[in-house]
């Protein structure tokens, strides 16, 4: 009788351990995906800013200055949004861990 109870406890403990590992693996995969997305967003934002500023060169005076300010503001907003998403994913991973 004792061996059945011991085996049952061992099986339940093993099942729980595997479910925890599976949940941890899923959370880690989400964190890694968020990190990958963040890196890509940074590259895309830099490329977009470079392209937008190149278009500003066709302008002159105040229009060119405003165009460059707009390009920089767009870049900064994109970077802030991407960082927020990444930071949230990291926090979610730590909370689940």
- Region 10-34: what's the mean pLDDT? 66
For residue 81, give its domain range: 28-96
Domain presence at residue 69: yes
Domain presence at residue 8: no
Q: What percent of the chain has pLDDT over 70?
A: 75
Domain presence at residue 54: yes
Q: What is the pLDDT of residue 14?
A: 56
- Region 89-93: what's the mean pLDDT? 87
DSSP 8-state secondary structure symbol assigned to residue 60: -
Q: How far apart, in Å, are the Cα atoms of 6 and each of 12, 19, 91?
A: 10, 20, 38
Q: How confident is the model at residue 6 (pLDDT cuts 50, 70, 90)?
A: low
Q: Are 38 and 85 in contact (CB under 8 A)?
A: yes
Domain presence at residue 80: yes
- Residue 87 CA to residue 93 CA, distance in Å, equals 10
């Amino acid at each position: 009788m004792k061996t059945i109870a011991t085996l049952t406890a061992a099986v339940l403990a093993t099942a729980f351990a595997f479910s925890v590992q599976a949940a941890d693996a899923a959370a880690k995969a989400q964190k890694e995906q968020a990190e990958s997305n963040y890196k890509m967003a940074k590259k895309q934002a830099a490329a977009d800013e470079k392209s937008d500023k190149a278009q500003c060169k066709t302008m002159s005076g105040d229009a060119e200055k405003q165009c460059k300010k707009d390009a920089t503001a767009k870049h900064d907003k994109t970077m802030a949004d991407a960082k927020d998403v990444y930071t949230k994913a990291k926090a979610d991973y730590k909370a689940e861990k």
